[in-house]
Amino acid sequence: MSKLKSSSSSSMLLPPLLLSLLLIVPTFSTSRKVLDENHHEGIIRVNLRHVDSGKNLTKLERVQHGMKRAKSRLQRLNAMVTKKQSQFSKSEELDSDSESESESSSSQIQSPIHAGNGEYLMELAIGTPPKSYPAILDTGSDLIWTQCQPCSQCYKQPTPIFDPKKSSSFSKLSCGSNLCNVLPSSSCSSGGGGDSEGCQYMYSYGDYSVTQGVLATETFTFGSSKIKSIGFGCGEDNQGSGFEQASGLVGLGRGPLSLVSQLKEPKFSYCLQSIDDRKNSVLLLGSLPKTKNAKGAVTTPLLKNPMQPSFYFLDLQGISVGGTQLSIEESTFELGNNGSGGLIIDSGTTITYIEENAFDALKKEFVSQMDLPVDNSGSTGLDVCFSLESATGRIEVPKLVFHFRGGDLELPAENYMIGDVNLGVACLAMGSSSTGMSIFGNVQQQNLLVNHDLQKETITFVPTQCDQV
């Protein structure tokens, strides 16, 4: 099979058949070992499974399924942004207000909105003796939770519901515990109860999905590695969509409740296989893998957004298509004082969504540089598609580069151009964001080792064959 080749500094050449079948070889060398031989030392390894794995779907169909699921996630993100902006506006208008004080002292648990759901499942075991459960991986929220007995309202899950009475290591947390105090909402903080029932929590995901129960600690097992006293939500009332393939969710956000924040070393990495690859992706917890001869590695700082503290915001300064930098406002991807805007990296969103003016410029540039007719049928659900019916020989695909503070990330073509032989189209796997906030999705992160270092507050992208990690 031919590799992608650069015909110039601004474009890539690939045969149309390979494009349509999606059998595209990455631009980085497959023979080079990216990681040290001892890279597993001190690292907890967890296999990740895409939610559509095992289904007979093309790559484009998998992207379409992910986009449908993303509607719910984008709705949640939009609700979060809107709510935070509203709170910011009110806080500027009101220095102190007795009415708002009385509302906050209500005994009802009020729950902030979080991202929730995701595209990847991880296997873990809970309790002593350990019981295995699949859980959703989510880098956009913090709380770890699973459905628990006795369950007043639970959705149907693929495994038996966890029964804390059958675990010798289960322990409820009190209202005075550190983790209870950092909950965004609990019965303790709202004055709804003391320690008799422990620390009762409620965690909402913006589309009426919610988990409610008691905060506790347990022993979690990942492969052969056991971690004691992990704080998690034992959910006795769980409702909503997007959770059905799992028993719960593992939050890997930046907040103190997340799994990564509860580890001794707040660091993790993941390497996502191509969305149509049958092989498992991988999550590495604890120490970051040691990279060796990591050609093409890009390190960029994490930005803090007090309004959205769980998200991993990156400093995106521009985008180039085929060597042409898009003519967009310098402030397009900046974080606003009210927490609006910016760009997050998110494993739970399938394709990348960028601010609508920037996307319009991106679309215009791709259309001008692709030597193919535009497909306006709308059959794929993606905004920018090209017809392959008249394609002969090799097709030039403009290079796509994201200019982050600290370095330029050039993506291989299969991370942004997706074809379908049956439909006879090739589509750009990106979309427009109407919220102002941009999202760097998981298709663009394929075959990249993405190192999150919460101590140094950086993210590093390392071009990697994920089956070698």
Give catalytic residue positions: 138, 346
Q: Taking Cα atoms as reference points, which of 438, 115, 73 lies closest to residue 250?
A: 115
Q: Find the helix or strand (DSSP H, E) in which 67 lies.
A: helix 59-93
SS (H, E, C) the chain: CCCCEECCCCEEEECHHHHHHCCCCCCCCCCCCCECCCCCCCEEEEEEEECCCCCCCCHHHHHHHHHHHHHHHHHHHHHHHHHHHHHHHHHHHCCCCHHHHHHHCCCCCCCCECCCCCCEEEEEEECCCCEEEEEEEECCCCCCEEEECCCCECCCCCCCCECHHHCCCCEECCCCCHHHHCCCCECCCCCCCCCCCCCEEEEECCCCCEEEEEEEEEEEEECCEEEEEEEEEEEEEEECCCCCCCCEEEECCCCCCCHHHHCCCCEEEEEECCCCCCCCEEEEEECCCCECCCCCCEEEEEECCCCCCCCCEECEEEEEECCEECCCCCCCCCECCCCCECEEECCCCCCEEEEHHHHHHHHHHHHHHCCCCECCCCCCCCCCEEECCCCCCCEEEECEEEEECCEEEEECHHHCEEEECCCCEEEECEEEECCCCEEECCHHHECEEEEEECCCCEEEEEECCHHHC
Cis preceding-peptide flag for 150 (omega within 30 of 0): yes
- The 3-state DSSP class for residue 309 equals coil
